[in-house]
Every structure is written in C-alpha cells, then in structure tokens.
Amino acid sequence: MAEQIQRVYVPSAIEDGGNTLSLGCFSSEATAWNVLRSFLKKSDQMLLVSASVVVWDIDVIGSHGLTVLASLECKDCPVCSRQTFWVDLENFSALCHGDACAAWVEESTHEPGVIDCGWPALRFLKQTKSIEEAFKELFALGDQIKAAGITDTVSIQASEAMLDEFENLT
C-alpha cells in the first residue's frame, strides 16, 4: 500500500501586476525548492516582485494548515545589475540567481552580528558589521567590474586579470 501524503509544498511567484504564478504542488520540500530556484534563474526575463514556498498540511481546516517556509523579494543585483537578486525576508539572506553571478549576502552562522557577502566568480568574500555595509561592498565590486569592462562575453580569467589590473592602478 502506498504511503499517504500528509503535506504538500507549493512554490509560487508574483508578477509586477499582482498575478500569481503557481509552479506546482509537490510531496517533497527539496523538489519544491529546486523548481523555484530553476524558475528564479529566469527572473530577469519577467517582471517578478516576490516568490514563496508554502507548506499545506492535508486534511486541516482553515489557515492552520498553511505554513510559509520562505518569502522572497526580487531586487536588482548589486554586482551584475540584473533583476535576479532574491532576498529571503524571514531569515535574512540574499542570492543572485543570474547566470555566472551568484552574488550573496547572509548573516554569519559562526559569528553573531557579522554579515558575510561574496561573489564566487572572483572568490570575493567580505565580512561586515551591517547589511548596509555588505550591500555597499557588493555595489563597489559591481562598479569596479563595470569600470574594468567585464561583460558576459569576457571569460572569468580575463575578468580577473582586468580587475587585478584595475585594482593595482588605484
């Protein structure tokens, strides 16, 4: 006999005009997150403002059967400038889902009161004392990259060389 499903996980996104895009209903939290992450990679091609993953308990009447796992808000990425930077409003963290970017900000799991931020493409990692400082660091990195002429058509190795050259001049 098949195991009866007790919970379903529902990822969704909301467009600029308020239209909700339902992305499915899954018996696994991991599957729901994978579907949402894949969808968010295309967020620069749409006008999305927020996204969420909710859990519905089966056979529960009313709102007691609903749990919001995450509420995400879409912003422009401080590094690549595309609208692919998703901020988790519940447990503060942010990640760019854009191709070849993946800039991120999150509270340190090891040091209370410290905010970590980074850009994996150049192995950039910085610790700051506030979220505002972390965003300033990422915006400054994005400005340096743009000033160095790094674009989608330039390889990461060429980007690193140009950025090193630029930093040596300053």
Task: Please report the pLDDT score of residue 135 as a whole number.
Answer: 92
Bridge partners, residue 107, by sequence: 115
Model confidence pLDDT, tens digit, residues 46-73? 899 999 999 999 888 888 889 999 999 9
Share of the chain above pLDDT 90, in %: 54
Task: Please report the pLDDT score of residue 153 as a whole number.
Answer: 45
Model confidence pLDDT, tens digit, residues 111-155? 888 999 999 988 889 999 998 999 999 999 998 888 877 555 445
> Which pTM does this prediction carry?
0.75
